[in-house]
Amino acid sequence: GEDVEQSLFLSVREGDSSVINCTYTDSSSTYLYWYKQEPGAGLQLLTYIFSNMDMKQDQRLTVLLNKKDKHLSLRIADTQTGDSAIYFCAEGSRSQGNLIFGKGTKLSVKP
């Protein structure tokens, strides 16, 4: 079946940039998503990118998509302690009934 892979942990210092990576297998993916989950809460949509785009920027967030390598990344500029959370990558295609989620990357931001 289709799969989405992410590294489980990332630790950065406050003020540095964070880069969270994701790989997926479904070549028919049309949308790719990044969600953020704070402790004890639901998932919050951060941003998404269409599969015909290479890059999307939204304030401190930059999403890069390499469709050839099926690689997606989320860059957070000037990372703050409030960015500490679990970040989920997800992909969806029109042929699927739902999104496929990665296991999540836990971002820890040290002051």
| CB of 36 closer than 8 Å to CB of 87 | yes
Q: Taking the complex as a whole, how short is the minimal distance between the CB of residue 65 and other proteins, in angstroms?
A: 14
Q: How far is the CB of 81 from other proteins (least distance, A)?
A: 22
97 Cβ partners below 8 Å, 6+ apart? Answer: none
CB closer to other proteins, 14 vs 99: 99
- Beta bridge partners, 4, equal 24
CB of 78 to other proteins, least distance (A): 26
Nearer to other proteins, 76 or 90 (CB): 90
Residue 111 sits at the vertex; the CA angle it makes with 80 and 87, to the nearest 5 degrees, is 45
Least Å distance between CB 101 and other proteins? 5
Residue 37 φ then ψ, to 5°: -125, 120
Residues that bind other proteins (CB under 8 A): 8, 29-31, 33, 35, 40-45, 48, 88, 90, 92-99, 101-104
Closer residue to other proteins (CB): 30 or 84: 30
Q: Which residues pair with 50 in a beta bridge?
A: 31
